[in-house]
Amino acid sequence: MARDISSILSSKVGKVTQTAGASKRTRKLPPSKVPKLEQHLAAASNATHSWKIQPYLISCKPYGFDKSWSYSNESKLSLCCFDLDGTLINTKSGRKFAMGADDWKWFNDKVVNKLVDASLTYDFIVIFSNQGGIVANDPASKSYTNFNKKLTSILGVLNNKEVKNVLLYAAPKLPAALKKNPDYCDKSPEKNPFVRNRKPNTGMWDQLMKDLSIKEVVNTAVDFGSSIFIGDAAGRKKDFSDSDKQFAENIGIKFSTPDDFFV
């Protein structure tokens, strides 16, 4: 089910050429398909991270991470974790939902320097984001393509500041095409990965532990005392929910808000 961006690109490019009998001939992509393909290629050429897309989870790691990283339990890992929307970034347009891939700005002018500091202090910076507007069962969907492009820009800015130890997990919405699939009808986090991966449930954290090769040593591998999650859904009067605060509680790490952290 999982696909990375390079396989998507090669499958897209592969459609350009078709075999007819013994001879190969090239057909042009319909004009409507060209911008999407170019967008994928542009994103890939600037990309610092590889993307894995599952209908119920988008994950994104620095290139080479899987080959270069192996956990040794000599020291505990400290993790500085963030929500995305309303925490690291806001929309430039001022709208609740981004109008396109370029509709973002940092939460405030402290964010980049704070992330530079965090990248030196913590072993990893991890973004955990509910993305209820993204459909991830089609990597060419506009919602996914915009998200990929936006995050490629954000990660590129951080990479230029030598902030390279960033991982991202995003929980997309249940696509209409899968709504009647019995695997996804159950509302319990144990049975339904769409529910499990959505904060305040801890599916995205569990996947991080797997990606860090942390399994049975989970209670000793993470420095729960120094690790922290920062999010804007904190149950304050102005907040739409407390799902970020609950997420941190469910994991067992400290919690802060962007208003208190980015000062």
Find the largest Cα–Cα distance for the chain: 69
Using DSSP's 3-state secondary structure scheme, residue 91 falls into: coil
Least separation in angstroms between CB 28 and Mg ion: 42
Instruction: Specify the residue, 221 or 228, whose C-beta has the smaller distance to Mg ion.
Output: 228
How far is the C-alpha of 25 from the C-alpha of 60, rounded, in Å? 36
Handedness of CA 6, 7, 10, 15 (dihedral sign): negative
Q: How far is the CB of 151 from Mg ion (least distance, A)?
A: 15
Closest distance of CB 154 from Mg ion, Å: 14
For Mg ion, the closer of residues 86 and 203 by Cβ is 86
Alpha carbon distances (Å) from 234 to 54, 91, 168, 241: 28, 19, 20, 7
Nearest to Mg ion of 175, 258 (CB atom):
258
Pick 36 or 105: Cβ nearer Mg ion: 105
* 243 vs 232: CA distance, rounded Å: 9
Closest residue to Mg ion, judged by C-beta, is 86
**Alpha-carbon torsion angle 185, 187, 190, 193, nearest 10:** 60
Which residues of the chain form contacts with Mg ion (CB under 5 A)? Answer: 83, 85-86, 232
User: Least distance (Å) from Mg ion to the CB of residue 26?
Assistant: 46
